[in-house]
Amino acid sequence: MEQALHNQARETTTEKPGRRRVERAVFETDCQVIEGDLTLPPAGYQSRFSDSLNRGDFEFVPLTNAQVTSLDDGKVRQLPFLILSKRHIRVAYPVEP
């Protein structure tokens, strides 16, 4: 029984290549609003949006298809890839589908 539980836990946390999901999210900093695609595991361990922000072993959030809007002048830039420092994030939330 104990071995079966161990195997089930391992299957839940093992990530299979190519099996990820993308969630659109907004991050607000002091100077910008950034909207981009965040890649997450499909289910199980570390699969929630909040898990990706609360992980202590990563200081940055990688985003793809990012849109950066300046709060100073309203200019918008499109970037295919962006790495956002967690220490600059003031507010973060997923975009409703």
pLDDT in tens, 47-90: 788 888 888 888 999 999 999 999 999 999 999 999 999 999 99
Would you state the pLDDT for residue 16? Answer: 52
CATH number listed for the domain at residues 2-94: 2.30.30.100
Q: Which residues are CB-neighbours of 32 under 8 A, at least 6 positions away? A: 68, 69, 70, 71
Would you state the pLDDT for residue 17? Answer: 56
Average pLDDT, the chain: 83
Give me the helices (H) in 1-97, please.
2-13, 49-54
**Widest pairwise Cα distance in the chain:** 61
Would you state the pLDDT for residue 49? Answer: 83
Confidence of residue 18 (pLDDT cuts 50, 70, 90): low
Percent of the chain with pLDDT over 70: 81
